[in-house]
Chains A and B, each alone.
Chain A
Amino acid sequence: RKEVEQDPGPFNVPEGATVAFNCTYSNSASQSFFWYRQDCRKEPKLLMSVYSSGNEDGRFTAQLNRASQYISLLIRDSKLSDSATYLCVVGYSTLTFGKGTMLLVSP
C-alpha cells in the first residue's frame, strides 16, 4: 500500500462549484497533516494544516479521521485561480507527499 494515496484527477468543475478531495495514509503513527497547493512547474505552497477537530480557512475546509486514516479537503465557491494540483501531506519527523489531485476550474 502506498504511504499517501490520492485520486490524481483531473477534477473539472465550473466556477462556483463545490469540490472535495480525499486522501488516505498508511502510517498510523503520523502526527502532522497538511494540504499543499502546487501550480504547474512551481514549488508547493502550504494551503492549510489539518487538525483532528477539523478546520476551516475561508472557502477551504479540511477534515481528519485518524481511525480511518483519511483526510479530506473541501473547496466551496471555486475560483479560476483555484486551478492547481493539491497535495496531501502526512508525516511525523519528515513529511510524505501524495502525488496530488489536479483541479481545473472553468468559466
Chain B
Amino acid sequence: DADVTQTPRNRITKTGKRIMLECSQTKGHDRMYWYRQDPGLGLQLIYYSFDVKDINKGEISDGYSVSRQAQAKFSLSLESAIPNQTALYFCATSDSRLARGNEQFFGPGTRLTVL
C-alpha cells in the first residue's frame, strides 16, 4: 500500500542537541506538511511544502527548519532542541491533483522527548 513513513518513531534527546525527523511517502503526492501535537491541544502546523522548490512557514515555525529533498521526502530539524519541543510530531501529505486535494494523509508520528 502507498504509505507515509516517519523515522524515528521515538526519540529521547537532551537540550541543545540537533535533531532531524524524517518523512517519506510512496503516495506520489506533491504536498507535504509537518505538525506537532501536544496533550489537550490541536495539531499545529509547523511547515509545509507544496512542491520540491516550495517551503512555507506554518503557525509555529520558530525553532524549526525543514528540507524538501525530493518530492517523496520532507525532513524536519530542531537546530537546538529545548524541553518545550517535547511533543508528538506528524508528517502528512496531500495531492493537489485530486478533486478533494486538501485531504491529508498522516504518517504514524514521532514521539520526541527533550530532557
Q: Which of B40, B90, B103 contacts A43 (CB 8 A)?
A: B90
Which residues of chain B are within 8 angstroms of A4 by Cβ–Cβ distance? 42
By a CB distance below 8 angstroms, the chain A residues around B108 are: 42-43
A residues 33-62 with Cβ under 8 Å of B? 34, 41-46, 49
B45 on the interface (CB 8 Å rule)? yes
Q: Tell me the B81-100 residues at the A interface (CB within 8 Å).
A: 88, 90, 100
**Is the C-beta of A22 less than 8 angstroms from some C-beta in chain B?**
no
- Of all chain A residues, the one with the shortest Cβ separation from B91 is A43
**Chain B residues with CB under 8 A of A8:** 40
B42 touches A99 (CB 8 A): yes
Chain B contacts for A97, CB-based, 8 A: 35, 42-43
The CA-CA distance from A31 to B104 in the complex, in Å, is 14
In-complex Cβ contact of B102 among A32, A41, A87, A98 (8 A): A32
Q: Which of A44-91 contact B (CB under 8 A)?
A: 44-46, 49, 87, 91
Number of interface residues of A (CB under 8 A): 23
Query: Is A100 a contact of B42 with CB atoms below 8 Å?
Result: yes
Find B58's partner among A31, A46, A94 (CB 8 Å cutoff): A94
B-side interface residues, number (CB < 8 Å): 21
How far is the CB of B58 from the nearest CB of chain A, in Å? Answer: 7
Q: Does A20 contact B (CB under 8 A)?
A: no
A92 to B96, CA, bound (A): 12
- Say yes or no for B74: interface residue by CB 8 A criterion: no
Q: A98 touching B100 by the CB < 8 A rule?
A: no
Contacts of A49 on B, CB cut-off 8 Å? 100, 103
Docked-complex contact A34 and B107, CB < 8 angstroms: no
Known A-B contacts A41-B88, A43-B90, A49-B100; A98 and B106 likewise in contact (beta carbons under 8 Å): no
A interface residues, Cβ below 8 angstroms from B: 4, 8, 31-32, 34, 41-46, 49, 87, 91-100
| Known contacts A87-B42, A94-B45, then 12 further A-B pairs from the complex at CB < 8 Å, ordered by chain A residue | A31-B102, A42-B108, A43-B90, A43-B106, A44-B43, A46-B103, A46-B104, A87-B43, A93-B102, A94-B48, A98-B42, A100-B42
